[in-house]
């Protein structure tokens, strides 16, 4: 069965500092991987996705993520965090033409000014 682990429940970083949110997955075939962001009181917005090809993918709002097959990881990064990045971030995995996404438990990002 597919599963996604986000080891960090909460992360606090200073504004302007770099950020890395961890995501590990368990999936039998080549996964399709996603990062979603949820601002307080809002729905989920797709940040970026990995389907195939270049293992470093760029997303919106200056985020990027790197797929590492050997480590079963898809970590999200941003070189310089802004206060508006404070939100909850979800990693998810899915098959190509399947119907279901499996989500991790989420990481809450707090940004210190």
Partner 1 sequence: NAGVTQTPKFQVLKTGQSMTLQCAQDMNHNSMYWYRQDPGMGLRLIYYSASEGTTDKGEVPNGYNVSRLNKREFSLRLESAAPSQTSVYFCASKLAGVAKNIQYFGAGTRLSVL
Half-sphere exposure of 6 (CA within 13 A, CB side): 25
The least CB distance from residue 44 to partner 1, in Å, is 4
Least CB distance to partner 1 at residue 16 (A) = 29
Closer residue to partner 1 (CB): 30 or 84? 30
H/E stretch holding 58: strand 56-58
Residue numbers at the binding site for partner 1 (CB under 8 A) = 4, 9, 32, 34, 36, 41-46, 49, 51, 90, 94-101, 103-106
Question: Do 77 and 66 touch, CB atoms closer than 8 A?
Answer: yes
DSSP 8-state assignment for residue 27? -
Q: How far is the CB of 100 from partner 1 (least distance, A)?
A: 6
- In angstroms, give the least distance from the CB of 109 to partner 1: 15
Q: Which is nearer to partner 1, 9 or 70 (CB)?
A: 9
- Which CB, 5 or 75, lies closer to partner 1? 5
What's the CA gap between 29 and 10, in Å, rounded?
Answer: 30
What is the Cα–Cα distance from 95 to 107, expressed in whole angstroms? Answer: 23
Give the residue with the Cβ less far from partner 1, 36 or 67: 36
């Amino acid at each position: 069965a597919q599963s996604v682990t986000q080891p960090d429940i909460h992360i606090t970083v200073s504004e302007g500092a770099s950020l890395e949110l961890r995501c590990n997955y368990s999936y039998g075939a080549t996964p399709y991987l996603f990062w979603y962001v949820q601002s307080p009181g809002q729905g989920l917005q797709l940040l970026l996705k990995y389907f195939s090809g270049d293992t470093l993918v760029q997303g919106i709002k200056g985020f990027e993520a790197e797929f590492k097959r050997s480590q079963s990881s898809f970590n999200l990064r941003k070189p310089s965090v802004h206060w508006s990045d404070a939100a909850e971030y979800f990693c998810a995995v899915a098959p190509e033409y399947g119907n279901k996404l499996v989500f991790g438990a989420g990481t809450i990002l707090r940004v210190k000014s």
